Structure 1
Amino acid sequence: MPTISMFYGIIIRMYCAPGEHNPPHFHAYYQDHKSIIDINSCEIIEGTLPNKQLKLVVAWAEIHKDELIANWELAMNSELPFKIEPLK
Structure 2
Amino acid sequence: MPEISRFLGMIIAMYYDDHAPPHFHVRYGDHEAVIAIDSLACLSGRLPPRALGLVIEWAAAHRAQLAEDWNLARNDLPLKKIEPLE
Share of identical aligned residues, percent? 48
1:27-56 per-position Cα deviation (integer Å, ceiling 9, x unaligned): 001000000000000110000000000000
- What's the secondary structure of 2:38's corresponding residue? coil
Q: Runs ≥4 in structure 1, deviation > 6 angstroms?
A: none
Tell me which residue corresponds to 1:4: 4
| Amino acid across the alignment from 2:69 | N
Shift of 1:79: 1.1
Determine which of 27, 30, 35 is the counterpart of 2:28: 30
Gaps of 5+ in 2: none
Indicate the residue corresponding to 1:13 in structure 2: 13
- TM norm structure 2: 0.97
The alpha carbon displacement at 1:16 in A equals: 1.4
Unaligned runs of 5+ in 1: none
Using the size of structure 1 for normalisation, the TM-score is: 0.95
**Count of aligned pairs:** 86
Superposition deviation, residue 5 in structure 1: 0.2
Q: What is the root-mean-square deviation of aligned Cα atoms in Å? A: 0.6
Whole-angstrom distance in 2 between the partners of 1:80 and 1:49: 27
Confirm or deny that 1:84 pairs with 2:82: yes
Q: CA deviation at 1:7?
A: 0.5
- Structure 1 distance, partners of 2:3, 2:67, is 15
Amino acid at match of 2:66: L
Separation in 2 of the partners of 1:4 and 1:75? 11
Structure showing greater relative contact order (alpha-carbon pairs closer than 8 Å, 6 or more residues apart): 1
